Amino acid sequence: MATKKMWGGRFEGKNSDVTERLSMSVHYDSRLYRQDIKGSKVHAEMLKDMGILTHDEFKSIVSGLDTVLKEIESGDFNFRSDYEDIHMNIEARLTELIGDAGRKLHTARSRNDQVAVDTRLYIREETEKIESLLKKFILRLADIAEQQRETVMAGYTHMQIAQPVRLSQHLLAHAWALSRDLKRFETFRNMHNLCPLGVGALAGVNYVNNRKFLAEHLGFAGVTPNSMDTVADRDYIADILYASSLLGVHLSRICEELVLWSTYEFNYIRLSDQVTTGSSIMPQKKNPDLAELIRGKSGRLTGNLVSLLTVMKGLPLTYNRDMQEDKEPLFDTVDTVLLCLEGMIEMFKDIVFNKERMSETLRGNFSTATDIADYLVQKGVPFRTSHEIVGSIVGYCEKEKRNFFELNLEELRKFSNAFDEDVLINLDPAGSTERKQSEGGTSLSSVLNQIESIREIVV
Ligand code: ARG
C-alpha cells in the first residue's frame, strides 16, 4: 500500500515492499492501543496547558481518541501496515476523524518516548496480573502445606533418599522460591515506575513541558532523569523477562516433580482428570501433559530473555530500530507466564497426595541413618565414628537383605555398645522430622511458622 508516510516529507521515492514488511509491527504492537491512547490524552492535556492546543482542539483530540478506542475494541478499526506501528495508526485515524487538531498531537513528542511510555504502562499492568496469580498459587501451596503438616515423606539429594521431611516442608520450599519471584516482580515494577514521556526523540524538547504532570497523570512515581538513557533503555523489559525466566525455572522444577511423582514407580500423587490427558493408542494412559507443557514453556521464557539481551548488547546510544524487536518476546513472555500460573493453580486445585506410599518409601530405605548417627553422638561417640558405625550397619543390611527397621537391639549392639533401648525410637522416620530443631528445619513448629510468615508476605 503506498500512502504518504507521516515522516515522508523529505522522501521522493517510495519504500520497497520488503522495507514495509520488515518495518511493520502493528500486527503485534496493536496490543498497546489502550496505553497509547491513555498516554496521548495526557500528553494532549499537557499541550493544552502549555498553550500549544486550544481548549477546543484538546476536547476534539480526546473525543477523537475515544472514538478510535471504541473502533479498536469493537473490531471496526482498520489497522494499516503501511502506517507501520500502533502509534502512527492511531494518530492517522485520529487526524482522519478530527482534522488538523490531530496533526498537532505529536508536538513535543517522539515515537521514541511514546513507545517507551506505552510499554512501561503495559508492563506495569501485566506485572500486577502476574503478581496476583503468583500470590494465589503461593497461598494455595501454603494451604496444602497446612493440611498436610503431618504427612512425612522422603527428602532427596541426588535423587536418592536422604532424610525424612514433612511434605509441607517440601511444598514450602517451592513456595519460598516463588515468594522471591513475587518480590522480584514487585521490585522491578517499582524500580521502573518512572515516566519516559516528554524527553522527545533523545535530547529533550524545545518546549517548557511539564513532565511531572505527565508522570502524575499516568500513575508514575517520578520522571526518568536523562533523555538519552530514556529512549535507549530497555531494562524495564529485560527485567520482566528475567523475572519471568526465573519464575519459569521454578515452575518447571515443580512440574518435573509432579511428572515424576505421578509415575507408577513413585505413585506419590494423583493429578485430576482436569489436568491430565489420554493417549490416542494406549487406553490405560493418563499423562501429566499440563505439567510437561509448563516445564517446556519455561524454555521459551529463557529464550525471550536471551533474544532481547542479544538485540540490545551492541547498540550504540540512543534509539535504534533494532529495539522494535523488544515487543514480541515481551508479549510472548507475559502470555506464557500468565497461562502457566493459571495451569499451576489448576493442577494444585485437586491434587491428591498418597501418604501411605510416601511413608512406605521411607521405611524401605535408610532415611533415618543420620538420626542414628546423631543418636550415637548423644551417647558420647564422635560424629565421624558414629557415621562409620551406621555406614557399616547399612552395608550389613544390604548384604543380608534386611530392613534397617527390623534390626533388634542385640544386633545393633554388635556394631556399637553405645546402642540402648531408646535407639528404636530414633529409627522412626516420623520422629525424625521432629528432631530437626534448627530454625527453618522440617519440624512441625518450623513448618507452621513458615506458613504464617509466607502468608504475611503474600497478603
Ligand atoms: N515501532 C517503533 C518501535 O517499536 C516505534 C519507535 C519508532 N521510532 C523511530 N525512530 N523509528 O520501536
Q: List the residue whose alpha carbon is closest to atom 7 of ligand 1.
A: 111
Average pLDDT taken over every residue of the chain: 95
Same domain for 128 and 83? no
Q: Please list every protein residue whose CB sits less than 6 Å from any atom of ligand 1.
A: 25, 85, 111-112, 115, 319, 321, 323-324
If one residue of 321, 325, 331 were mutated to test the ligand 1 pocket, choosing by the most ligand atoms within 8 A of its CB, it would be 321
432 inside domain = no
Same domain for 123 and 102? no
Burial class (CB in 10 A: 0-12, 13-18, 19+), 362: buried
Band (364; pLDDT cuts 50, 70, 90): confident
Same domain for 260 and 226? yes
| Residue-level length of the chain | 459
Asked whether the beta carbons of 333 and 304 are under 8 A apart, the reply is yes
- Strands 269-270 and 222-223, how do they pair? unpaired
- Least confident window among 96-105, 236-245, 387-396, 419-428: 419-428
d(CA 298, CA 276): 19
- Tell which atom from ligand 1 comes closest to the C-alpha of 201: 10
Residue 3's pLDDT is: 66
Q: Measured in Å, how far apart are the chain's first and last C-alpha atoms?
A: 53
CATH number of the domain encompassing residue 406: 1.10.40.30
User: 277 alpha carbon to ligand 1 midpoint, in Å?
Assistant: 44
Please identify every residue annotated as catalytic: 158, 279
Same domain for 161 and 31? no
CATH number of the domain encompassing residue 167: 1.20.200.10
User: 403 alpha carbon to ligand 1 midpoint, in Å?
Assistant: 70
Q: List the residue whose alpha carbon is closest to atom 11 of ligand 1.
A: 321
Asked whether the beta carbons of 268 and 358 are under 8 A apart, the reply is yes
Q: What is the pLDDT of residues 33-50, one digit of tens each?
A: 999 999 999 999 999 999
Q: List the residue whose alpha carbon is closest to atom 3 of ligand 1.
A: 324
Distance set, CA 42 to CA 27, 124, 198, 263, 367 (Å): 25, 17, 11, 56, 64
User: 115 alpha carbon to ligand 1 midpoint, in Å?
Assistant: 7
Q: List the residue whose alpha carbon is closest to atom 4 of ligand 1.
A: 324
Q: List the residue whose alpha carbon is closest to atom 2 of ligand 1.
A: 324
Same domain for 339 and 399? no
- Tell which atom from ligand 1 comes closest to the C-alpha of 319: 10
Band (27; pLDDT cuts 50, 70, 90): very high
Name the phi and psi angles at 157, rounded to 5.
-130, 145
With CA atoms as reference, report the closest residue to 359 among 181, 152, 69: 152
If one residue of 83, 86, 111 were mutated to test the ligand 1 pocket, choosing by the most ligand atoms within 8 A of its CB, it would be 111
223 - beta bridge partners?
195
With CA atoms as reference, report the closest residue to 329 among 408, 387, 242, 200: 242
Residue 1's pLDDT is: 45
Same domain for 215 and 150? yes
374 inside domain = yes
Same domain for 395 and 344? no
Q: What is the pLDDT of residues 151-177, one digit of tens each?
A: 999 999 999 999 999 999 999 999 999
User: 128 alpha carbon to ligand 1 midpoint, in Å?
Assistant: 26
Per the structure, the complete domain to which residue 378 belongs is given by: 369-427
d(CA 303, CA 248): 11
End residue of a domain, out of 304, 332, 359: 359
Q: What angle do CA 447, 453, 458 make, to 5 degrees?
A: 125
The total of structural domains in the chain comes to 3
- Tell which atom from ligand 1 comes closest to the C-alpha of 327: 4
d(CA 245, CA 306): 10
Q: What is the pLDDT of residues 56-73, one digit of tens each?
A: 999 999 999 999 999 999
166 - beta bridge partners?
152
Asked whether the beta carbons of 386 and 373 are under 8 A apart, the reply is yes
452 inside domain = no
Same domain for 342 and 386? no
User: 191 alpha carbon to ligand 1 midpoint, in Å?
Assistant: 24
For 223, half-sphere exposure in the C-beta direction (CA atoms, 13 angstrom radius) is 17
6 inside domain = no
User: 210 alpha carbon to ligand 1 midpoint, in Å?
Assistant: 23
Query: For the whole model, what pTM was predicted?
Result: 0.95
- Tell which atom from ligand 1 comes closest to the C-alpha of 115: 5
> Does the structure show a pLDDT above 70 at 96?
yes
If one residue of 30, 82, 85 were mutated to test the ligand 1 pocket, choosing by the most ligand atoms within 8 A of its CB, it would be 85
What percent of the chain lies above the pLDDT cut of 70? 99
User: 311 alpha carbon to ligand 1 midpoint, in Å?
Assistant: 15
- Count of CB atoms within 10 A of residue 11's CB? 10
